[in-house]
Every structure is written in C-alpha cells, then in structure tokens.
Amino acid sequence: MKKTLLLFLACSIAMISCKNKPSEKSEHSEYSEISEYSDSTYSIRYAQGFKVERHNGWLSLEISDPQSFNHADTYRFALVSSDDAKTPAGMPRIKVPVKNVVCTTTLQLSGFLKLQALNYISGIMSAKRLFSPTLKQYIDEGKIVKVGKEGDFDVELILASQPSAILVSLSKRGGFDKLEDLGFPLIPYMGYQETSPLAQAEWIKFVGLLTGQAQEADSLFNAIEQSYLSARDTIQSYLQTHTAETPSSKEATTNRPNVLYGKLHGDNWYAMGGESFISKICKDAGARYFMVNDNRTGGVNLDFENIYAMANNVDYWIIQNKSHTALTYQSLLEEDERYADFRPWKEHHIVCCDMSQTPINELSPMEPDTILLDFIHAFHPEFMNDYHPKYYQIICR
C-alpha cells in the first residue's frame, strides 16, 4: 500500500509540475480586452484578501486584510485596458498591463517569479538573499533598481522608473506617504496575511491581473492546488491505513507526530499561533502542531518555561534559521545549553530552513505544495525516503 501511494503521489506531482509552465517573456505582452475573459478566470476560492468583479470594459479590484473580520479598510481600484472605460468617480484607475511595478517586500516577488514576469518590475527595496539568476541579472543591468529602504526611499530613482503602481505592505508604512504624494498608486499586497497555504498561493491571480496574465495565473494556480491536495490526501490516506493496520493505542497515537516551532529571541520564545499558515500545513502533513488549540493567526511570544516543560513531549522541532551560518546541533547548544534537554535535539529531529541558502522568501508563497512535501518527508521519512527537500529538511550535524 505504501509503495502504491508513493508512486501515485510522485507521478501526479510530476505531471502537474510540467503543466502550464509559462514561457519567459522578453517584452510586455498585449493585454486582451477585459470583456473577453470568462468569469471563471476571476473566481477566488481560497484567498480572503482580494476579490475581482467584471464590469462593462473594466474590473473592480477590492483589497482588504484577510484577518480583519469586518474588512473595515477596503481599498478599491479600477483596472482598465482602455482609456475610454467609464469607471466610478474617485476610484483610482490602473492601466493594465502595468508597465512598471515597484515591489517593497521580497514576498511580493513570488507571483512575478512564478509567472516569469520579472520584466514588469522596475524597482525593489532590497537585493538581500535573492536567488533568481534572472532577477540578479536585471539588477546588474539596471532594469530593476534598488529604491532604498522603508522610510528612506530614493525618490529620484522611483521617479525615473515611472512605476504604474507600487505594491506596499500595510504592516510597514514608513515613508509611503511621500510616495503617495508623488502620485503613484499604492496597492496593498496582503498575501502575507492569508493563513491558508492555498490562499497565499492564490495571490498569483492578483499578479496575473496586473500583468495581463490572468489566464496563465489561473492555470498555474490550478496546478499548485492539485499538487497540494494530492500530497495532502495521499499522506492522510496512508496514515489512516497505517492506523487501521496497527490498532494498538500506542501505535495509533504516535502515528501523527507532535511538532514544536520557533526558538528563543531574547527572553521570549517566538512561535506562530494555532490558526497560522505553519499550523495548517503541519496538519496537512499528518502532524499535530504544538499550539493547535490556540486561535491566533500570527506571531506569538511565549514563556520559555512553558516551552521547556513540553519540549520532551514533541517529536519534531521546526526552526527558520535567519543566520548566514548553517544551523547545527552544536550551534543551538551554544545559543542556549537548555536546548540539549529537548527531545528533538537528543533524537536529531530538528527540521530547519536555512533562509540564507534557499529562496524561501522569493518563492515559497507560490510553492505551498513543495513545503508540504518537505514536511511530509521530515515527519514521515518511511513514506518518502527518496524525496529531496527544497526548503525544510532534518539537520544531521
């Protein structure tokens, strides 16, 4: 049964990854009339932070915080492909496809990278930890300029790039008022606020709307969705079968490992809440997140004493390593000798993402299926022993 399921999973993911791969665009594509797109192109199934409605010759784009229950702050834009489109007075108009976009966070690059649409980007804030060869080349050639850091933007460079729009993060407002005074539309990018893995990935449709690649974005998302659901359903089926074949209570409870997340930052342990992206992807990977009963979606500061008390009852420990040096069991011990008492430290069950070695900020929002497979491989090595992880893997030394 295990070999059959694994073969099915590998084949289905391989087929999906080969489908609908867009070709590299050397020039901006011509944008088809908005009225030609079917309603299905704009159907949003998971994302809560944006929605699209088609009108006569234009599209309304509404953006809000997906974690806000009443969506009190909603930003509305009119996307037009013709100057003749009649839109509501006072609603900012954005001509699509956009000619130049400034991205103010690395996460905003993921949709452009997945669509191979970097030629639509004219500026970024930071070039740190970039992995894409094309992105690096565009920066070296001056096609993409570094526009400074938050609160200290290089206004002259931004003016010279003449952006059609600037993507901003509402959690980082420093200096954006100055940009707004220049007259460029500021479009909130709220993908990072989505708590569902597939909801984050669905923001590729948002990028597709801006770049005139709505149909390509829809096809790519469908492939991501199929790949993710295939992996999720396959591991869940395997675990159910495994439990049924080993009915003893001990075997049944250890079937789904308990997972710890985060580590000390100063005096506090920083983790993610029980309704976060990381918690949900652990569940889909056949594991129990240690804060599964918590209802928070974002970052949480915890007392180390509480973590220390539960650390011997977890099977795996996930860490995002932001250091430029590789994380090892010894380096953890040098940070805090109490880590040696943690069961995952003793058993070498630490799952790490070395952020300086992987394009996790650039691509992971559009690759939840890959992260899911990484976690399945870590938590159930007997099931995917031939898999090679991309972002998260067990550290061995």
DSSP string, 79-148: EESSTT----TTSPEEESS-S-EEESSGGGHHHHHHTT-GGGEEEES--TT---HHHHHHHHTTSSEE-E
pLDDT tens column, 295-333: 998 889 999 998 998 888 899 999 999 888 999 999 999
Q: Which of 23-37, 150-164, 273-287 has the highest mean pLDDT?
A: 273-287
CATH number of this structure's domain 24-212: 3.40.50.1980
Q: Percent of the chain scored above 90 by pLDDT? A: 61
pLDDT of residue 165: 93
pLDDT tens column, 250-303: 444 458 999 999 999 888 999 999 999 999 999 999 999 999 889 998 889 999
Asked if the model's pLDDT at residue 73 lies above 50, the reply is yes
Tokens representing residue 74 in the block:
């909603």
pLDDT of residue 40: 56
Query: Phi/psi at 181 (nearest 5 deg)?
Result: -65, -20
Q: Which of 161-170, 178-187, 197-206 has the highest mean pLDDT?
A: 197-206
pLDDT of residue 16: 44
pLDDT of residue 327: 94
Integer CA distances (angstroms), 381 to 150, 349, 388, in order: 42, 11, 11
Asked if the model's pLDDT at residue 177 lies above 80, the reply is no
pLDDT tens column, 118-141: 999 999 987 777 899 999 999 999
pLDDT level of residue 247 (50, 70, 90 thresholds): very low
The mean-pLDDT minimum among 16-25, 40-49, 80-89 falls in: 16-25
Pick the CATH number of 236-394 from 3.40.50.1980, 3.40.710.10, 3.60.60.10, 3.30.1300.10: 3.40.50.1980
pLDDT of residue 35: 52
pLDDT level of residue 161 (50, 70, 90 thresholds): confident
Rounded to 5°, angle at Cα 75 from 73 and 78? 160
Handedness of CA 110, 379, 309, 325 (dihedral sign): negative
pLDDT of residue 248: 47
Asked if the model's pLDDT at residue 390 lies above 60, the reply is yes
Could you give the CA distance from residue 187 to residue 101 in angstroms, rounded to a whole number? 10
Q: How far is CA 221 from the centre of its chain?
A: 13
Please indicate whether the domains covering 24-212 and 236-394 agree at the CATH topology level: yes
75-80 and 148-149 as β-strands: parallel, antiparallel, unpaired? unpaired
Q: What is the chain's mean pLDDT, rounded? A: 85
Asked if the model's pLDDT at residue 41 lies above 90, the reply is no
The residue behind tokens 């997140």 is: 289
Asked if the model's pLDDT at residue 175 lies above 80, the reply is no
Which of the two residues, 3 and 26, has the higher pLDDT score? 3
pLDDT level of residue 349 (50, 70, 90 thresholds): very high
pLDDT of residue 37: 53
Domain boundaries, the chain: 24-212, 236-394
58-63 and 165-168 as β-strands: parallel, antiparallel, unpaired? unpaired
pLDDT of residue 19: 45
What's the average model confidence in pLDDT over 196-214? 96
Rounded to 5°, angle at Cα 74 from 70 and 77? 155
pLDDT tens column, 53-65: 999 889 999 999 9
pLDDT level of residue 149 (50, 70, 90 thresholds): confident
Asked if the model's pLDDT at residue 14 lies above 80, the reply is no
3-class SS at 51? Answer: strand
Could you tell me if 378 and 372 are in contact, meaning their C-beta atoms sit under 8 angstroms apart? no
Asked if the model's pLDDT at residue 83 lies above 80, the reply is yes
What is the reported pTM? 0.88
The DSSP letter of residue 120 is: G
Side chain identity, residue 155: V
Work out the widest C-alpha separation in the chain, in whole angstroms: 70
pLDDT of residue 208: 96
